[in-house]
Structure formats: C-alpha cells, structure tokens
Chains A and B, each alone.
Chain A
Amino acid sequence: MTATDHPTVPGAPIEVRGLTKTFGGVTAVQDLSFDVRPGRVTGFLGPNGSGKTTTLRVLLGLVAPTAGTATIGGRAYRDLTDPLRTVGAALEAASFHPGRTARNHLRIQAMADGIDLARVQQVLDAVGMSEYADRRVGGYSMGMRQRLGLAGALLGDPGVLVLDEPINGLDPEGIRWIRSFLRSLAAQGRTVIVSSHMLGEVQQSVDDVVIIANGVLVRSGTIADLEAENPPVVLVDAPDRDALARALQEAGLPFTFGSDGFRVATHDAALVGHAAFVAGVELRTLHRLSTGLEDTFIALTTRGAAA
C-alpha cells in the first residue's frame, strides 16, 4: 500500500466536546474539547495517566462517557454502520489471543465487518509482517504486536486512524518507518491521531498537537505555533570567550551567555561556525540545541497537573 494507491481518502473530522469520564470517584478526563482535522497528523500528548487512553476509548465506543460527546464525522462510534471501514484503531494494550496467528486474527476482524479477506494479505505486507503472519501471536515481540495492531487498523482502509502509543516498543528502524507511514496516510487525506507521552517521539511527524494533563486540555494548535514560541538555539563555546563574543557581534548574531557557553538565537550552526572561522576563533563546542519544545511540554503538563 503506497500513497499512490489512494490519492485521496476522505477522512472525517473527530470532534470531542465537553468530555468527562469518572471511574468510581476518580476523574480521568474533565470537560475536554478538541478537534482533529483530516489530512493532518495530530499528536495527542500527555504524561502517562493523563487520560489519553480513556479519551480514545470513549471515542471508540469502548467506554461510556460520564458527560459530553466524542464523534467521528458527527457520529458516535457505536452508530457507525461499517466501523472498521470508517475508523481504524490500534490501542496500547494490543489485545490478541496468544494461541491465534496474526493472519487469523486479521481474518476474524475482516469477517466481522464484511471486509474482503484479500485485504488481510495486503495489510500484512503494508506493515512488513507477512513473514511472521502464520505464527501464533504468543511468541511475538512488542514491536511485532505493534505492527499487527497497525495492520488491524488499516484493514478496512479507513479514512480515520486512531493510534494509541504506536511507537512504543519499536526499534529505531521501525520508528523511522512509522513516522513516514503516518505522514503518507495523512497525505492521502486521512485523519490521523497518534497518542504519545513524549513530544519528542512524534514531533517530527505531527502537524497538530493536543496536549492534556490530568484529564484537562492544556494546549491545542499546530506544532509550528508551538515551535515558534520556542526559537531554536545554537550552543557555542570557545577557549577565548572574549574573541568569540566579538566575532558573534561582528556577524550580527544575537546571543546570551550561560555557564556552558553562548546561546545564539539561530537554527543554523553553520552560520555561527562561519562567523568564528572568519574571526579566527578556535571553537570548543558548536551544536544546535534541541528546541525547548520538550521543556515547554513538561512545563505545560506539570502546570496542568497542578491545576
């Protein structure tokens, strides 16, 4: 399955409105509202236990909300006539019978929603699992289970994909693969929501973010906006700091000085290196700092937790 197979798959928007869920006396999600748009990858972010999985399970009709609604294209999941062909979901607690093979698991899902059984081989190929498809799931690694979960989500070729922590347990190669895969799904016009407890994990693959903490929305918007609030910084240091400071001034690069060196407000380390080279300053350190996004994420979510 490549992007060209589906030039456009119309995805439906997801709308969460005033969602509250309490388990016993414990509030898991409180008055949560956000939108997820088609054709984009949305990161649904928050620390562990912040209510992400509960929200997704309400969206999928597995958990009944205490108040509020969560709809897909304006309809509750339980009212969908062809659920798997409308929404594909892979949930964190990937739930498979250990004595059943991956292929049979997918066949059962396909049968239950009247999906052409030929799709089973297609999705197995799409996630690179054909080789293991006839082994019992009980012997699978975490990464293989994640891929099987994803295969199940793709089975009905749905316009909406709901993926709970899909990156957990994947090896670096698998992470790279899933990132580009998510992008291609959104490029086809699908709605893609991906939960994660780490912003950095999905930062490169998401367009929008919905951040929650303690069941409360703390931020929603584009990742670009969030990044704009946290300008990139290049860290540079030299044995002769005075010379370096002069070089930076001459090159017109604004900077601040910290204990570990100079923080230059640019995303381009080469520019800083060039300025030093021109001035003949020997450098000790020169690298781009990861943007402050992760710090902001932690600040946002701890603030939410305190609220």
Chain B
Amino acid sequence: MTAFTQALRAEVAKVTTTRMWWVIAIVMVGYVVLMAGGLGAALGFAAGQDGGGLPPGVDLSSTIYSFATGIGYVFPVIVGALAVTGEFRHQTVTPTFLAVPRRGLALGAKFVVQCGLGALYGVLAFAASIGAGALALGLAGLETGLGTSAVWMLVARGVVAMALWSAIGVGLGALVRNQVAAIVIVLAFTQFLEPILRLVALLTPVTQAIGQFLPGAASDGLVGASFLAVGGMGGGGIAILDWWQGGLVLLAYAVLTTVGGYLTTWRKDVT
C-alpha cells in the first residue's frame, strides 16, 4: 500500500506543479458565472413579469445552480484527459514508469487523484453558479433556496458527478493517448454529439429509456436537476435515472474507459 501512497503523492504534485489546473479552473468559473448569472437574471426577469413562467415541479434555483455540472462538466473531463495524454505528449511517461514500474499502480493513482481534482472543480463550479445565480435571483426578488437542504444535497451530488467526470477523462485519455484527439473527442461528444443524441432519443419511449444511460444524462440523473431536462421540453415526462443509478452509470463509464485504456495503450512499449 505504501507504493500506492507514494504514487498518489507524486500524482498530486504533478497536478500542482504546472499551471494548467488553475488556468482551466478560472475558465470554468468564468463560464459558469456567465451562464448561471445570465440565466438567473433572465428567468428572474421573466418570472417577475407573469408571476412564474416555469413548468410546474421545476425548482428555479436548483436549475440555475445545476449549471455548475450541466455546462461545467466538460472541464474536469478535459483536465482528466490532459493528465494522461500530457504524459505521452511530453514523454513524462518515461520517468513516471521508471519510478512506478507497476503501471496499473501508476494509472490507479492518477484515477484517484484526478477524482479529487474533479471534486475540487465541482466545489469551485458550484461556488460560481450559486454565487452568480443567487445574486441574480436575489436581485429579482426571488427565492434563492439557499436555506433548503435540497440545494445543498444537489451540490453534494454535483461534486461527486464532477469527480466522476474527471475519472472518465482519465479513462478517455488512456484510451486515446493523443492529446489533440482526446480534446477533439471530448468537445465533439459533450458539446455536439450527446446533446443531439439525447434530443433524438426523446422521440420514442424505447430510445428514451436508452438515452438516459448516456453519460451526460446519467450525470443529470445523479445531480437531480438540469437545464437540459427543463429547457424547452415542457418539464416532466422525460425519463431520467435516480441519483444513485446515475452515479453508478457514471462510475461504470469511468471504470470501463480506464480499464480499457490500461489494457490497450497504457501497457504498450514506451519508446
């Protein structure tokens, strides 16, 4: 176990000794503040106009706060993927494997540490969405929900989701190995492919049942609120996994991609 503890320490130091983690964190926070603050202001204004234009059963504050994961999740995926692909790009995988020749141990340590970093991103993202969202709601004279346990449970589940997204990034990075390819895949899938798939899946009950197992949908299930589940779809009626089911599905994606990456590229020759 000490070998694993040593590997964990080294992986933490790898994160903290370059600038990437906080540069990406700043971009994420800025993005979430803009979206949560902007939507909070817009919906707050609309709600003030006609006394609440939201579908029944949808909690405005939770929806706005969930921007932290709803749009922020792409950042931990990218950070997790870069943690692996960067090792190949800069050939630091050579010193890494020299120090930890049992490669599974090295990848396991990376998985765990990136989960931790993803959780930290989750905390930062919720600080951003709640900070900007509550401010906008408060200014519109609406309920911020900050006194309710439901909001804080949402935050806790969201932090877990962000941790798992980071781990999925690790798995994807290990599968792909090429940094540019990994980023392209992350962006294409999260920003384009999955939203379309989720939309198309809504067309029939069968595809809808399958669609809820898509990673983004599972993540929304885990967090328990999402602007995608609300936005334009008329609210209720969309199949979504329970929070624990969503969490398990997300965990399964993380584990499967990482084990797959280990079996395919991580064990290859380092030349």
Contact = CB atoms under 8 A, between A and B. Distances in A.
Interface of A: 23, 53-54, 57, 60-64, 77-78, 80-81, 83-84, 89, 91, 93, 95-101, 104-105, 107-109, 111-114, 152
A95 B271 CA distance: 11
A108 B95 CA distance: 10
B190 interface: no
Given A83-B101, A99-B20, A112 B2 contact: no
Contacts of A99: 18-20
B91 A112 contact: no
B10 A111 contact: yes
**What 3 A-B pairs come out closest when comparing CB atoms?**
A95-B91, A112-B99, A112-B10
B94 A109 contact: no
Contacts, number: 89
Contact of B271 (A57, A107, A112, A113): A57
Main secondary structure of the interface of B (DSSP, over half): helix
Nearest to A114: B6
B7 A98 contact: no
A53 B6 CA distance: 28
B96 interface: yes
Given A63-B270, A64-B269, A97-B90, A152 B95 contact: yes
B209 interface: no
A100 B99 contact: no
Interface string B101-114: 11000000000000
Nearest to B94: A95
Contacts of A91: 94
A108 B101 contact: no
Interface in B1-25: 2-3, 6-7, 9-10, 13-14, 17-20
Interface in B38-83: none
Contacts of A111: 6, 9-10, 13
A97 B18 CA distance: 8
B102 A108 contact: no
B97 A61 contact: yes
B92 interface: yes
A64 B269 CA distance: 6
Given A63-B271, A100-B18, A111-B13, A93 B99 contact: no
Contacts of B10: 108-109, 111-112
A104 B10 CA distance: 10
A80 B18 contact: no
Contacts of B269: 23, 57, 62-64
